[in-house]
Amino acid sequence: MQTTMIIIWAVLVAATLLFEFFTTDFFACCFSLGGIVALILAACNVNLYWQIPVFIVITLVALFGARPFLKKLFIKKTIPTNLDQYLGTTTKLLADVVDGKSTVKINDVVWTVVCADALKAGDLVTIEQPSGNKLIVKGAK
């Protein structure tokens, strides 16, 4: 039974570490920490009735104690780019919308825009979001 539990805890630790590798939320690593402690207990032939509660307690302590600290330490707020200052602003189209695309000029820079509306040159549009090197706009009200 102890060998089986060692394998189960090792698989749990490996799976949660792999999951944490693809995310940056420090959620799965808390389960890994609890799994490592439970794995050590299983290797020391401690009864299963102790392994599971210790796993739960260590995981909860890590979730509510270490996770907020780790997130604050490692996950930095995104720094807005210069393009973010234009979101929500209104500007004029330089050309008619053809095949959902047109152009606008913002601070002497001509941008390609994507627009679902059939608009003409000179119509006002509102910038909604960037999409690569293009701006997604909609007709201004």
What string of pLDDT tens digits covers the 141 residues of the chain?
Answer: 788 999 999 999 999 999 988 887 778 888 999 999 999 999 999 999 999 999 999 999 988 888 788 777 777 776 666 777 788 889 999 999 888 899 999 888 899 999 888 888 999 999 998 888 889 998 877
Pull the structure tokens for residue 29.
Answer: 């690593």
pTM (global) more than 0.85: no
Are 20 and 28 in contact by the 8 Å Cβ rule? The answer is yes
Residues 68, 54: Cα–Cα separation, whole Å: 21
Residues 137, 141: Cα–Cα separation, whole Å: 12
- DSSP-assigned letter for residue 119: -
Name every residue whose Cβ is closer than 8 Å to that of residue 60 and which is 6 or more positions away in sequence. Answer: none
